[in-house]
Amino acid sequence: MVQTSHSILTVGSLAFDSIQTPSGKVDSVLGGSVNYFSIAASFYTPVEVVGVVGQDFPEAHLEWLASRKIGVSGIQRVPGKTFHWVGSYDHQMCEAKTLSTALNVFEHFDPQLSEVHRQSSTLFLGNIDPELQTRVLDQVSSPTLVACDSMNFWITGKPDQLKNTLKRVDILSINQAEALLLSEQTHILAAAEVIQKMGPSVVIIKRGEYGAMLFTRKRLFIAPAYPVAHVVDPTGAGDSFAGALMGFLTGAQAHRDLSESNPEKWEELLRKAVVSGCVMASFTVEDFSFRRLMKLQISELMARQKELIRMISL
């Protein structure tokens, strides 16, 4: 793994997923945003995870995460059942249809950071309640790079709280439908401009099979998705995209002050990080859960990244 001493603190969900796609059906496989994020990011840098699981969550998985230099001391195990999401995809596999959600122990999740976690310089807030995102931000002493994700549920359910969080965020990574909903715009360019005025200087809009668009204050960069012959399960693709993105930036020792001291270098790192995210997501969709990521070798990752760069170069 391409790792450094720099690490990311991330807060989000660990879960069980039951999923049906045109490729098949699985029941109660491991999932959750922070799981996908941390595994993807661990290819580039160590990660510290804050989350909650029930008594039914396998200890063996936490041990495997720890073997990847993913810190699990911030994962609480409490009485009850782990968060369980049930969803399905149609043949286009553009968006998941939620069939049921059992928050279980996640319903009362109240992230309390250790003293070590409070000193984190890089923070990624998964798509949890924006009030919890703000609560985490309040506990971190002086982060130099803050990024977050969100989802339709919070955009429509707690828009004011989400906007309060965004005032303190440097990078926002969301999908196209979420960007249009959050901005109340009908065009992606206008949406990015409106979101930047909310706080994040960098807005990354994920577009599934069409890749991702990176908006900074100065320019737009479009990265295509790496073409995958057979998509099995899109679940977690956006979270693993964000994991690789933030892992790359942290591993490259890129912090917010770089955008002021060397803006051209910062722009270059952001573009490379988005490409890294697109490549990581292409592995995630090749199997259910994060089975493909758990088998992924660094040589495969680097080879596919070079191939995507070759595809988009003149």
H or E element: which one contains 25? strand 24-31
Which pLDDT score, from 0 to 100, does residue 255 have? 52
Query: Looking at 32-96, which runs of residues are DSSP E strands?
Result: 47-53, 70-77, 84-88
pLDDT average, residue stretch 272-289: 97
C-beta of residue 41 within 8 angstroms of C-beta of residue 247? yes
Region at 202 (left for phi over 0; alpha for psi -120 to 50; beta for the rest): beta
pTM here is: 0.93
Which pLDDT score, from 0 to 100, does residue 73 have? 96
Helices of type H across 199-251: 237-251
Percent of the chain whose predicted confidence (pLDDT) is above 70: 95
* Per-residue pLDDT reduced to its tens digit, 42-75: 999 999 999 999 999 999 999 999 999 899 999 9
pLDDT average, residue stretch 11-36: 96
* Per-residue pLDDT reduced to its tens digit, 188-217: 999 999 999 999 999 999 998 899 999 998
Model confidence at 1, pLDDT cuts 50, 70, 90, reads very low
Q: Mean pLDDT over all residues of the chain?
A: 92
C-beta of residue 62 within 8 angstroms of C-beta of residue 73? no
Which pLDDT score, from 0 to 100, does residue 4 have? 38
pLDDT average, residue stretch 3-21: 85
C-beta of residue 145 within 8 angstroms of C-beta of residue 37? no
C-beta of residue 41 within 8 angstroms of C-beta of residue 47? yes
Region at 28 (left for phi over 0; alpha for psi -120 to 50; beta for the rest): left
Read off the tokens for 286.
């090749």
The more confident residue out of 93 and 36 is 36
Which pLDDT score, from 0 to 100, does residue 110 have? 93
pLDDT average, residue stretch 171-182: 95
pLDDT of 2 above 60 = no
pLDDT average, residue stretch 21-25: 95
Percent of the chain whose predicted confidence (pLDDT) is above 90: 84
Q: Where are the domains of the chain?
A: 8-312
* Per-residue pLDDT reduced to its tens digit, 224-279: 999 999 999 999 999 999 999 999 999 876 554 555 567 888 899 999 999 999 99
Q: Identify the CATH class of 8-312.
A: alpha beta
Q: What's the DSSP call for residue 69?
A: T
pLDDT average, residue stretch 282-288: 97
Distance, in Å, from the CA atom of 85 to the CA atom of 101, rounded to the nearest integer, reads: 5
